[in-house]
Amino acid sequence: MKKAICLVLAALLTLGLTACGKQQAVEPGGSLAPEQPGMTAELDAIYRHSALGNYADIRDLDAEYSSEQAAADGCFVIAPLERSNEDLYTDFMQRFQNQEDAFIRVTQTTVEGDLILTDVLYDSQTNCVYLVHDATRDAFSAASDRVITLRTYTSTGQYDLDGDLYWIAYNGDLADVDLRNEFSLDQVFVIAGIH
């Protein structure tokens, strides 16, 4: 009985999530962009995933949500002068390597101090990395860029660019990733500088 329930839940989650390699956007305020039908259901499926534990849906966070709140909530916080909860990155990558469900919320600040949030979910059933990027608090970006986007990738890992390490999500082979030249967000997303 327990196995049957697990299989049904896995099937429901899989049906609700985007196939690897797709991208969608939500307009500011969480409204569905007209060209992206079904994104609300996909985000709902992501935020129901058991790997999230007690993390709140990114769409429900207060507009004034801060780095300090994020650190207290157990997020990997990358700020100009400090980092908090770096062990969460190591734990996420270990779980990913072991093909176990994993989730991490990464917060970074812009040069002006605005908070950018990125939720990264690895779902072992679909073998996909789901990336929800929230730039709605970036007051200095164009209004059209202040959106929540959903992207899916086949993998995640470290990319060395002249001795600087970056955490990326990507489709295809890591050997094909080249951050020195123009690249498509459909192929690679730089989550954070890690060292």
Express each pLDDT in 16-52 by its tens digit. Answer: 455 666 555 543 333 334 345 677 889 999 999 999 9
Residues 52, 55: Cα–Cα separation, whole Å:
6
What pLDDT score was predicted for residue 22?
Answer: 57
Confidence band (pLDDT; 50, 70, 90) for 70? very high
* Sheet containing 188-193: order of strands: 155-161, 164-170, 188-193
What are the tens digits of pLDDT across the range 147-171? 999 999 999 999 999 999 999 999 9
What pLDDT score was predicted for residue 50?
Answer: 96
Residue 176 CB contacts under 8 Å (≥ 6 apart), including other chains: none
Counting residues of the chain whose pLDDT is more than 70, the rounded percentage is 81
Tokens of 32: 């569905």
Instruction: Strands of 3-147 (E only): list them.
Output: 23-26, 76-78, 83-84, 102-109, 115-123, 128-134
pTM for this one?
0.82
Task: Evaluate if residue 89 carries a pLDDT over 90.
Answer: yes
What pLDDT score was predicted for residue 175?
Answer: 82
Q: What is the mean pLDDT of the chain?
A: 82
Q: Which helix (H) or strand (E) holds 93?
A: helix 87-97
Confidence band (pLDDT; 50, 70, 90) for 6? very low
